[in-house]
Homo-oligomer: A and B are copies of this chain.
Amino acid sequence: MTFLDLVRQRRSVRRYAATPVPRERLERALEAARLAPSACNSQPWSFLVVDEPESKRRLAEQAFGGVYAMNRFAADAPVLVVVITERSRYAAMLGGMFRGTRFNLIDVGIACEHFVLQAAEEGLGTCWLGWFDEKAVKRVLGLPGRTKVDILISVGFPAEEAPKAKARRPLDDVRRYR
- Whether the Cβ atoms of B52 and A35 lie closer than 8 Å is no
**Contact A176 B48, CB 8 Å, known A30-B171, A118-B3:** yes
Of the residues B1, B130, B169, contact of A103 by C-beta under 8 Å: B130
Closest to A142 in B: B178
A14 to B31 alpha-carbon distance, docked (Å): 25
A127 to B101 alpha-carbon distance, docked (Å): 17
Say whether A159 faces chain B, with CB atoms less than 8 Å apart: no
Q: Please give the distance in Å from A46's CB to the nearest CB on chain B.
A: 5
Closest to A47 in B: B175
Extra inter-chain contacts (9) besides given A30-B175, A39-B128, CB under 8 Å: A3-B118, A12-B37, A34-B171, A34-B174, A41-B168, A46-B174, A96-B130, A105-B106, A106-B106
